[in-house]
Amino acid sequence: MTGTLPVRSPARSKVAVGVLASSGIAVSLMQTLAVPLLPEFPRLLGTTPSNAAWLITVTLLTGAVFAPVLGRLGDMYGKRRMLLVALSAMALGSALGALSSEFLVLLAARALQGVAIGVIPLGISIMRDELPPERVGTGIAVMSSTLGAGGAVGLPLTGFVAENADWHWLFAGAAVFAALEILLVRLLVPESPVRSGGRFDLAGAVGLSVALLCLLLPVSRGSVWGWGSPPVLGLLGASLLLFLVWGRYELRGPSAPLVDLRVSARPAVLLTNIASVLIGIAMFASFMVSAQMLQAPAETGYGFDLSLMESGLALLPVGCAMVAFSPLSAVVSRRWGPRVTVVLGVSVLAAGNLCRPLVHRPLAGVILVVTVTAIGAALAYGAVPALIMRAVPRSETAAANSLNALCRSIGTSSCSAIVATVSAGMVTYAAGGEFPSLVGYTVIFVIAGGAALLAGVIAALTPTPRPDAEMGPSRAAPAAARSR
Give the per-residue pLDDT at 358. 92
Other CB atoms within 10 Å distance of the CB of residue 236: 17
Task: Provide the angle, in degrees to the nearest 10, between the axes of the packed helices 133-164 and 316-336.
Answer: 170
- The stretch 309-324 carries a mean pLDDT of 83
Q: What is the pLDDT of residues 10-62, one digit of tens each?
A: 677 788 888 998 998 888 888 777 877 777 888 889 888 878 888 888 888 89
pLDDT at 243: 94
Residue 192 CA to residue 305 CA, distance in Å, equals 50
Report the candidate in 31, 114, 120 with the shortest Cα–Cα distance to residue 65: 114
Chain centroid to CA 41: 24
Please provide the DSSP assignment of 106-144 as one string.
HHHHHHHHHGGGGHHHHHHHHHHHHS-HHHHHHHHHHHH
Q: What is the pLDDT of residues 379-432, one digit of tens each?
A: 998 889 888 888 888 778 888 888 888 898 888 888 888 888 898 888 888 878
Written as one string, the DSSP assignment of 370-397 is: HHHHHHHHHHHHHHHHHHHHHSS-GGGH
For residue 154, CA distances in Å to 13, 151, 308 come to 27, 5, 11
| pLDDT: which is higher, 240 or 152 | 240
Highest mean pLDDT among 198-202, 210-214, 429-433 belongs to 210-214
Look at residue 81 in the predicted model and tell me its pLDDT: 93
Q: Hey, which of 68-72, 314-318, 463-467 has the most confident mean pLDDT?
A: 68-72
Signed CA dihedral, 112, 113, 118, 124: sign only: positive
CATH 1.20.1250.20 fits 10-201+254-468, yes or no: yes
pTM, 2 dp: 0.85
Q: In the 3-class helix/strand/coil scheme, how is 18-85 assigned residue by residue?
A: HHHHHHHHHHHHHHHCCCCCCCCHHHHHCCCHHHHCHHHHHHHHHHHHHHHHHHHHHHHHCHHHHHHH
Under a CB-based contact definition with an 8 Å cutoff, are residues 315 and 367 in contact? yes
pLDDT at 459: 93
User: For the chain, what are the domain ranges?
Assistant: 10-201+254-468, 202-253
Residue 285 C-beta-side C-alpha neighbours within 13 Å: 34
Query: Whats the size of the chain, residue-wise?
Result: 484
Number of Cα atoms under 13 Å in the Cβ half of residue 263: 28
- pLDDT of 342 reads 94
Per-residue confidence band for 235, with pLDDT thresholds at 50, 70 and 90: very high
Is residue 451 pLDDT above 90, yes or no?
A: yes
State the average pLDDT for the chain: 85
Contact present, 314 and 294 (Cβ < 8 Å): yes
Which of the four pLDDT bands, split at 50, 70 and 90, describes residue 472?
very low
pLDDT of residue 290: 87
pLDDT above 90 (res 86): yes
Q: In this predicted structure, what is the pLDDT of residue 176?
A: 95
